[in-house]
Structures are given as structure tokens and as C-alpha cells.
Structure 1
Amino acid sequence: MPQSHETAPSSASSATRREFLQGSLAAVGATLAASGRLSALSPRQKRPNLVFFLGEGQRADALSIAGNPILKTPHHDRIGREGMRFENAFCTNALCAPARATALTGLYSRTNSALDNNGSHVPLPSDIPLFTDLLHEAGYEVAILGKVHVRNGVEERYWDYYFGHNDPSNNYVNPFFKEGRKGKVGEEKQYPGVYPDDLTVDRALAWLEEDRGDKPFCLLVWFVAPHEPYFRARRHFDLYRDTPVEKPATFDDDLKGYPGKPKGFVAAENKIGTTMTHVACGSHEGIVKDYYSGLVAVDENIGRIVAWLEKKNILDETAIVQTSDHGYFLGEFRLFDKRLMHEPSIRVPLMIRYPERIPAGTVRKEQVLDIDLAPTLLDLAGLPVPAHMQGKSVLPLAKAADPEFRREWYYEYFEWPNPEAVRPHRGIRTERYKLIHYGMEPQEFELYDLQADPGETTNLYGRPETSALQQHLLARLDELQQKVPAATHPPGA
């Protein structure tokens, strides 16, 4: 049995992270200086506006452009059809707050300190810049609206406009938001009788209408739907009433004793119809229909912003990025929620539309990650990417496929305890194989050949014929983890 591996970063390893960041701060300063020079040197080439749509728990296949047989998402689809769509996009920690912190910083959870959903009143470390901080320094107006849910809502950072909430789901009927301008955020207020994402986009459109002269803008619209309890907008109450929903092939694996799955997986409480703490998760059909109805509302609201850009004749001058914080189980192995490193949980959509640099209809199969979002958004703006960011821009893939872009990557989930009793774990995913290591005692493992077994039904760990493969993957897993410096700020501190 391999020796035990720590899941949370240790204090002994904090110096690694501190040295890593200190070594990159000079590069960040150089980046800001360079952005100032760029602003002065490029009067003839206007930098694009940026719109960043972040979904909430939107699976990679929760799009009609991805072949979903039930859900219709024409406004999402337009972004992918007129831009670049990735078939293998993933998150590196399938949980709301960590994934959102990674999108903003370009850093793994282990490095940016946002390991879990705790620490809601503690800012991200001030020595880590958000990509929006760099854009602001370069002359962009920056705004964030909707479900922020990053530590303390990143309220301490500069925002020209802020209209957000920091709850996992918010109140779908009478939502709460904080509003702020020019770096100051006000008190929380309740807004009766309005669907939260509709209100978010109302405010986004109002902000877009404001006069900002020649300044480009960066608008982050982060949706809350379809987060549990999956409430629908009133206009969608009748959606899918007569639509049949097929069970996933593995839905009844629990009746077979979850063959091949470790005890920790079996004991987790993220099973449909078995938990009193998640009363909205009582039936597979109910979850699926309500989840899809929430995404229809999201799609409509994306369409409202795209229509505004088109009306103002700036659609092609605006780079649009659409993705999600993490994926979601919709009955695979009878599961709901996310957290685990299995494909429904970690796969997300990623589409980018910007005709100036991206040919329409581009589809790529390279493995891209949420750590790549911040570098990509900076690259879209024509700004250099700081050396400390752990991802890389995906824009070169718009010109040509690159088989060497990313052959393997590291995953880690920290939160413990948690409402679903999902054990902390880490893992490595290559283009063909996936190994998952649950570090709590007793240590357990899963190993899958994704080419032969895309549904992850046959656990190959411990078989004589895979001994060399699993030892190789375990060694690479350790090596990848060592390349991710640990945070100096413990979770929730």
C-alpha cells in the first residue's frame, strides 16, 4: 500500500507557496507596467470588451450544441457556433467557491487558499491579483454581478460596479444582493418577487448603458441557476411537463452494491432520494427537469446581453467567454451534486467568441482547465499573462490544434466535513486514464481506462495487469502535486 498523502496543505509547505508568489510579484508589477505601456502604444487597435458568463454547476453536456436530447440552449449555442468550443474542459476542484477563486486568480486551490466553501468572511490573500485587478490597472472598467461566492465575495477588490451575493444558492423568490460602485460595496438588501438571474441581467444591462467614454469594459455575469433547490422562473413552470427522462445506465448500481467502487464512495450521502438535508433531491426526474429549466432561464439571459451588444454594434468588438464553475451529477450512480473527480462532476462547457482572433466553428479536443481562464481573458485583452499564474491561454488553439497542450493534470478536493460526506481526495487525469486517491484512512483508490470505459464503471486498481500503470500514475500524481505550491492561509482562516 502506498504511504499516506496529505490532502490539505501543511504549514511546513507554506514557505513553498510564499516563495513562489514573492518570486512572481515582480513579474506582476512588470505586467501592470506593460499594460500601461500597451494602453499608450495602441491607439489604433482598440482592445476588446470582455463578457464572462459563468454557469453554476452546468455540465459539459447541458447544451443543445453538445447534443443534449432535451435541453435547448440557442444563445449558448451561438457562442460556440460562432467561436471556439472545447470538448474536454475541466475544473480542478469541483466545488463552488474554490472553482470561482481559481477562475479569478489562475491558481489552483492549493495555492490561492480557497480550498473549500468555508472562510466566507475572509478575503483572498491580498498578494494574489485577480485578472480583473490587472484589467482595471490597464484601463478597463470592471463589473461583477450575480452569484460571486468567493470567500467574502471579493468585496475588498476594486469594482466599478458590484451587484452580487455570496450565498451558494441565494433566495430564488426574494433574493439578496449587495450593490457597490468605484470600489465600495454597500449593505445587503432583499429584492422581493424577482428571479435572481433576471435581476442580475437587468442590472448588467443598466450598467452597460452608462457612458464610459472610450474605456473598454469587462463584465462578469455569474448565474445562480440551476443550483439546488433548482427553483424555476415562473414563466417556466410548465417546461418538460410531458417530457420523459431516461435513467443513466448506472443509476441502479446501488442495488448491485456499487461493484468496484471503494467504501468511501458507497458511504457518501450524495445519493438521490436518501438525504433529509437535500429535500429537493427526492427524485431523479424532478432534479433533471428543474435543473434544465434553470438553464433555459440562463440561456434567455445570455441572449439578452448578446442582443444588447448586437444592437449597439459592438458584438464583434466584444470577446465572450462562457463556462461553468463545475459539472454536476444527474443520476449517474444515483448521485446528485459534484465534488467527486468523476466525469459528470469535473467536465464543464467552455466556449469563446471573438471573430478578430477566433474562426467560427472551431472545435478543440485538448484538455483545458479552469486555471486557464484568467490567462485567456488577459490574452484576449492583449495583456501579458503574469508568470505566477498556473494556467495558460487557450487562444493559440484557435489557430491550430496542439496535441502537446496538456497531456495530464492534477485534481484535488479538500472540504471535510461536508454535507454529502464526500471524502477528500486527489487525482490525476491523462488523456486516457484517471486515478483517484482518497487520502483519509483507510486509503482507497479508483483507476479507469477512459477510452475503454468512459462511464467509469470498471475500477482497475489493484489488478495485476495494471500494476505498472498504477505505480506510474501514483508517481506522476505526487510529482504534479509538488508543482503546486501550498497556500500560507489555511482554509477558513
Structure 2
Amino acid sequence: MSDVNELNNKVSVAGRGEVSRRDFLQGSLAVAGAAAVSAVVAPPYAEAQTKQKRPNLVFFLGEGQRADALSIAGHPLLKTPNHDRIGREGVRFTNAFCTNALCAPARATALTGMYSRSTGALDNKNGNIPLASDIPLFTEILQKEGYEVAVLGKVHTRNGVEERNWDYYFGHNNPGNDYANPLFKEGRKGKVGPQKRYEGVYPDDLTTDRAISWIDEDRGDKPFCVLIWFVAPHEPFFRARRHADLYNGTPIAKPATFDDDLKGYPGKPKSFVDAENKLGTTSTHVACGSLEGVAKDYYAGLVAVDENIGRVLNHLESKKILDDTAILHTSDHGYFLGEWRLFDKRLMHEPSIRVPFQVRYPKRIPSATVREEMILDTDIAPTLLDLAGVPVPEHMQGKSILPLAKKNNPDFRKEWYYEYYEWPNPEKVAPHRGIRTEQYKLIQYVLDPSEGELYDLKADPGERNNLYGKPEQAVLQSHLTERLNVLRAKVPERKEAGQV
């Protein structure tokens, strides 16, 4: 029993749950959703305004930006001074993660504060089917509190959430768009017009132009919340013309596991080995021909993103409202850049699930704060509501990270649940689920329950020594499996017609 007690101490869940605070039936979610929107109205916006003016909100969402793809995080090549400013003048988290490493479901989670399992937005399929109308977006809650809200750029979630009541919409529901001649839809006050092509303009530059113009509109004393969601550096990784020769002649280091395929992928299960998300060998992703090509294009795309973030920060500063504006930056998921010769995301390995997460708001967040607590994408919506002084609805499955800006909390989150659903998919990445604690990670493959991966992340941060199925790890594996099942059961499941 002493072994089990020791393991419980290491990986036990502590404090308030980081999944659903209440189990709820799918049939009652409509009531819960409607109540969530109405319940946050008190205190009334006008009353709150007399006490303290609420901040404007800017939410920068990166596309596939790895946690280490920042110069403030120590990247040896990439320079991101404007990203870095947010972290340097605010709080930066070194252990932030997504709960489903795929574009559309991750973006639904960012908007709702709920797991994919609960939103029903499991994968990149059903792109024209809206999110369930009884699930409120955090932006709709803010509107009830007097905010004007806008979303611009790569929305890429269920129906691009076009049917929701945006004060301004300038977005596309495409994973990569057309970098040379991008396509956008535009609309106001809940009415979105037809798709239009814009010739010869880099999509994120246009997104930023429109965002700045919208920020400048006269809205009286009403605060604004603007979501600026970039498409770069998504495949096919096209560059802005100004960066066409960036990184020419610069060597790209090969990850330590790049040649593991030549050794038969030691320790990895068949579900991992059979996936076709390998650089240089996939006919469905012709832009992913080489490590050097993908890495340099990826970094060049992030340089363009950094420039556009800088444009927004400088504009807010010129208007003398930067410090009255709370700024949150994170990404939908990470990205493999040659680890195990992989590209893309999906898998529950660290390059894929780790994301940057930083917030600047000097009125509530001390500068140069760095925290190590585990933060999830389910925490985005609660954090933005908290920044606005709006109560977080009970149905949201994350929690605000703002208390951590003032004081660290080792018990903030001890473990969390991950699930990847899409199957089939162009890369043949098998569905899987898992649990990650501060020290351990367990991955279970759904199509073949006998397959799995287990890592001691402190001893093996590169996830090279798979402990799954080893007799000496039986107690640990059994305990993590039990905890995984408990966490999964606590996340309410929304099933749609035809879903098994």
C-alpha cells in the first residue's frame, strides 16, 4: 500500500476540479447555457461603470505556435520582440497546454471554456454545422455586460460562429486560407455577408488593418473586446513578401529524435508508427517536404505575426489606452518541427500540446511574472471574463489564471485530461486520450486498447523511454488509468446525431 500512497501523493487531483464543476445532462444544457448568459448580468453594467471602468480586451490567438516559439522563451533563432513585450510586462506561463491539439475543436474551447467532449466540436469535420446554440460564447456574455465584440482572422470553428451576434466580423472558416489572395467574410451586428477575395495582400496584415480600424470606431464609453486570430504559420506556410529571403543560409538544428524512424521507432506503439504525419513522405502535405523548409517558413510566418502584434500594441499606446486594455496571447495548439520526423500536431506529445500563454494588464498583473502552474485552453474564457470583472459561469470547465499573477499556487492544477477524436484523417493519426500530471503522462490509443505510452516527464522530458506495459510500472500505470477514467467521467459528453 505504501507504493500506492506515494503515487497518490504525486499524481492526486487537488482543490477545485479543473473539468466540469457540475455534471449536467445534455438535455438540461440549454437551460444551463441560457442561465449562464443571464446570470452574469448582475451587477448591471452601468452600476459597474460607476465603480471602475472595465478594461478593453485584446485576445491574440496564434496558429500552431509552439510554447518555445518565442525569443522570451529562449528560442535560439526566432526573434519575437512584440510577443515578448506582453510576457515581459505581464505574466507568462511556462506550462500551458491545449486539451485537443486540432484547430477547430481548440478554437471552440477558447470561445466556450469547455472541453471538446462537452461542446460536441470534436474535430475539423462538420465545418458548416454551428456550435449548439445553447452553449454561450464568452463574447456573448461580455455583450450582456456592455462590451462591443469583434472577431477577425482565422476563425475556423463550427460555421466560423458566423451565426452568433458579433458587432463586427471579418473572418474565414478555412484552415489555411489563400495566402496570396485571401478570402474573408465581413459583417456587423450579427449579419455576415458573402465571401470575398482580396487580391495581393497577406491575410494577417489585412486582419490587423481591419482590427485597428474597428478599434478606432466611436463607441462612446463602451469597452471593446477584439479577437485577432492569425492564420500564419499554417501550412502551406507562405511568407509575406518582406520575409521572402528571411533565414537564407541559416542552419536548422535536427531534433534528437529525428532519425528514430531509421531505428524502428524504439518503444513507440504501432498506432504512433503508422501515422503518416512524417516530413518528406506524405503526398497529402506537399509543403512538408523537408525539416529545413518547414522550420524556416514556420519561423518566418511567426515573424509576420509578431510584427502585426506590434502594430496593435503601438496603436493602443498611441491612443493612450494600452494600459487600459488587457491583452491575452496564446495559441490553439503546438506543432511538431521534426521530433520523430513529425510535422503538424494532433498527438499528445509535448511539442503538439504545449502552447504559449501570457497576459498583460498592469492594473491587475505585476510585470515580469513567470509561473509554472499547468494552464489549459479551458482557462482562456474564464480569464477574459475575470479581466472584465464578470463572474465565470458554472458550466465553464476552466478557471481564471489571474490569481496566479499575484501569488503562485502549487495546487492550482495537479492533473488534466486530453482527448483527440478525428478519424479518419489525412495523416492517419489514431484517436487517443490521456492524462498528464506534473510528472507523468499516460496515452491510450482508442482503436487498439492494448497500445499506449507512459512517460516520466521529469526523468524523460523528451518522451523517449516508453514505460507502458513494463511490469515494474504496473502500479503507476494502473493508478494513472484510474485517474484518467475519473477525469473523463467528469467531463459531460454531448453527442450529436449519428455520433457513436
Distance 1:41 1:278, change over 3 A: closer
Distance of 1:27 and 1:364 partners within structure 2: 34
SS in 2 for 1:153: helix
Deviations 1:318-344 (A, max 9, x none): 000000000000000000000000000
1:293-327 deviations in whole A, cap 9, x for unaligned? 00000000000000000000000000000000000
One-letter amino acid of the structure 1 residue matched with residue 41 of structure 2: A
Cα-to-partner distance string for 1:6-41 (whole Å, 9 max, x where unaligned): xxxxxxxxx954156256346414533315x24324
Q: Distance in 2 between matches of 1:219 and 1:491?
A: 35
Do structure 1's residue 489 and structure 2's residue 493 form an aligned pair? no
How far off is 1:158 after superposition? 0.7
Partner residue, 2:183:
176
Alpha-carbon spacing, 1:102–1:199, altered in 2? closer, same or farther (3 Å): same
Tell me: CA distance 1:42–1:70, structure 2 relative to 1, closer, same or farther (3 Å). Answer: same
- Contact in 2 for aligned 1:319/1:352 (Cα 8 Å): yes
Q: Find the counterpart in structure 1 of residue 392 from structure 2.
A: 385
Q: What per-residue deviation string (whole Å, max 9, x for no partner) do you get for residues 188-238 of structure 1? A: 000010000000001111111111110000000000000001000000011
Distance, in Å, in 2 between the alignment partners of 1:331 and 1:289 is 12
Q: Secondary structure at the match of 2:242?
A: helix
Alignment check: 8 A CA contact 2:97 2:355 kept:
yes
Matching residue of 2:253: 246
Tell whether the 8 Å contact from 2:40 to 2:392 is kept in structure 1 after alignment.
Answer: no
Identify the residue that residue 291 of structure 2 maps to in structure 1: 284
Distance 1:370 1:491 in 2: 27
Instruction: Name the structure 2 match of 1:82.
Output: 89
User: Which one of the candidate residues 448, 468, 473 is aligned to 2:455?
Assistant: 448
**Is 1:164–1:178's contact at 8 Å kept on the other side of the alignment?**
yes
CA distance in 2, matches of 1:468, 1:199: 55
User: What are the residue-to-residue correspondences of 1:222-233 with 2, within 5 Å?
Assistant: 222-233=229-240
User: Is 2:415–2:435's contact at 8 Å kept on the other side of the alignment?
Assistant: yes
> Cα distance 1:492–1:167, how it changes in 2: closer, same or farther (>3 A)?
farther
Q: What is residue 11 of structure 1 aligned with on the other side?
A: none
SS in 1 for 2:160: coil
Q: Decide whether aligned partners of structure 1 residues 491 and 397 sit closer, same or farther in structure 2, where only a CA change above 3 A counts.
A: farther
* Structure 1 residues 461 and 133: CA distance shift in structure 2, 3 A: same
Give the aligned residue type for 1:311: S
Q: Which amino acid aligns with 1:18?
A: Q
Q: What's the counterpart of residue 9 of structure 1?
A: none
* C-alpha displacement of 1:175: 0.3
Separation in 2 of the partners of 1:128 and 1:17? 13
- The whole-number CA distance in structure 2 between the counterparts of 1:22 and 1:129 is 10
Closer, same or farther: CA 490–340 of 1 in aligned 2, 3 Å = farther
Please say if residues 111 and 484 of structure 1, whose CA atoms lie closer than 8 Å, have aligned partners that are also in contact. yes
- Which of 52, 56, 68 is equivalent to 2:63? 56
Q: Is the 8 A contact 1:83 1:354 kept in 2?
A: yes
Cα offset, 1:172, TM superposition: 0.3
Residue 39 of structure 2 is aligned to residue 31 of structure 1: yes
In structure 2, the CA distance between the partners of 1:396 and 1:16, relative to structure 1 (3 Å rule), is closer
- In 2, distance between residues paired with 1:122 and 1:491? 13
**RMSD across aligned C-alpha pairs, in angstroms?**
1.4
1:131 lines up with 2:138 in the alignment = yes
- What residue in structure 2 maps to residue 118 of structure 1? 125
Alignment correspondent of 1:12:
none
Work out whether residues 116 and 491 of structure 1, in 8 Å CA contact, stay in contact via their aligned partners in 2. no
Correspondence for 1:472:
479
The amino acid that maps onto 1:458 is: N
Retained in 2: the 8 A contact 1:17–1:488?
no
Deviation track 1:100-124 (CA, whole Å, cap 9, x = no partner) reads 0000000000000100001111110
1:46-445 equivalences in 2 (<5 Å): 46-441=53-448, 443-445=450-452
What secondary structure does 2:150 align onto?
strand
Q: 1:197 to 1:247 in 2, by over 3 A?
A: same
Where 2:468 maps in the other structure, the secondary structure is coil
- TM-score calculated relative to the size of structure 2: 0.94
Q: Is the 8 A contact 2:58 2:325 kept in 1?
A: yes
SS at match of 1:458: coil
Report the Cα distance in structure 2 between the residues aligned to 1:164 and 1:282, rounded to whole angstroms: 29
Secondary structure of 2:40's counterpart equals helix
Q: Distance in 1 between matches of 2:340 and 2:495?
A: 37
Deviation string 1:157-191 (CA, Å, 9 cap, x unpaired) is: 01111000000000000000000011110000000
Residue 18 of structure 1, aligned match among 14, 22, 26: 26
Q: CA deviation at 1:465?
A: 1.3
Number of equivalent positions: 478
SS of the aligned residue for 1:187 comes to: coil
* TM-score between both structures, scaled by the size of structure 1: 0.95
Would you say the 8 A contact 1:56–1:325 is kept in 2?
yes
Cα distance change, pair 491–148 in 1 and its aligned pair in 2 (3 A): farther
Contact 1:31 1:383 survives alignment (8 Å): no
Secondary structure in 1 aligned to 2:382?
helix
Contact 2:63-2:234 at 8 Å conserved across structures: yes
Q: Note the C-alpha offset of 1:443.
A: 3.4
The answer (yes or no) to whether the contact 2:63–2:233 under 8 Å persists in 1 is yes
